[in-house]
Structure 1
Amino acid sequence: MKIRLLLLLFPLFIQAQNDSIKIEKPNLSLIGLNKLNIVYKGIPNPFSVNVKETKPFKIKGEGVIQNTDGSYAIQPKFGKEAKVWVEIQTSDSTKVIEEHLFRVKELPYAALLVNQKGCINGDCIIEMPSKELAKAEITVKLIDFLLDYKITVTGFRLHLSNANGDFLDSFEVKGNKIPEDIYQAIIANDNATFIVIHKFTFASDLSLSIVKTPMVKIKRILEKK
């Protein structure tokens, strides 16, 4: 995931004699983080910095991280706003400090999907023909998440229940698809009205943890024989 923070230093005209000038509102920089200038709490939000004519600069701010490869990220922990300060050394040895303000958002809810069908909060039931469960793909979607991301389901639990909600059987699955042998076990059980998929594991390019594990409940539609 690449999020670019672009800083362009324009010609600076200063009449004051001080060698350090603090600019409360950035008017010498153009920032390209995202359209709403949003960062997410609890994860590193990567950004890159480029100053025109390679002027020397320093980046400061609470939660700002400089990685060993020289790249930057900001990982806010508290509050509704995050600030990044860019300290730029101009050609006439004037130091300019620019302040950039970002809105901090909580990580969004995650939805567990089966063949791209599911519920935001996991409280609803989706209906699905039995044949659609064959090699059905399990995915995760972050609701209203503004940044690019990759999340791959690496395993999940599937259990069966009857129309009254009584437990019938349970399966541990590796990977992100319902395998053929489990699909055959589902269609062979005429009492299996509901299929619940939950307790999934995943791999992601975000340093991400999902506090409330989502689930998806499927009502099986029996095809006419």
Structure 2
Amino acid sequence: MYLHDAHLANIVTSYCTCLGGLMPLIYCACTHNQPRRWVWVYFCVLLTGLPTVWMHTVEGNRVASFFDVGTNILLAWMLIVAVSGDYMSSPSRKRLVGITLALNVFAWCWLFYEIFAPTKMPLLTLWESGHFYTGEIVLILNALFGAALFMVYRKHITPAARPFLYTVLGMFIIGLLLATGDNEHIIGYIFPWHATWHIVSAFGFITLWIFNHIRFSERRLAVNSGSVTPLKEY
């Protein structure tokens, strides 16, 4: 019934990705203290979780893979949109968002081409069970760029929130390492790399909400006291 030993684990843990977006959305509905751009990020987490479940249910289906990787790229790009909206000036942000959107459109077009391509070859092979296709490379580059933006502007982040940022970045690095294994890679019968990546990423996004909650709550207090200007809501 299952294609390999990790198949069921990959399917079940895909629901963690959905929860990694759903729970922050519920928290946002209760607290109302984060800009809409971050709500869209959490929505994209939930959105990408749905084709992830589908893709792992029918592993090897190129249409499912297109939606899985494509929505992941959308999520990573939305992170760039959100972080740039927190710290960059409007002209610089518009240029950055426009350039990254154009590049990602090319990536989505390539993903669509791969649905019908005679063969689908990995762009980067690290080891026997670890390789990345073009869409996955684009996804990683988007995510790295978003993480880099946070690091560039980390001095603007309050001390109370910084440990949570570093926790999120640490979980991202762990997830990147786990992503080097293919869907079937298991160590010691109980450690499926890809399924574990689903779990780590889900908790990473929930931790991201906590990080944002702390810094935006502190900023709201500062705005109420008149010491800083409010952030834009887009």
Q: Which structure shows the bigger proportion of residues in strand conformation?
A: 1
Q: Which structure shows the bigger proportion of residues in helix conformation?
A: 2
TM-score greater than 0.5 by the shorter chain? no
Q: TM-score, normalised by structure 2?
A: 0.21
Q: Name which structure has the greater RCO, CA cutoff 8 Å, separation 6+.
A: 2
Q: TM-score, normalised by structure 1?
A: 0.22
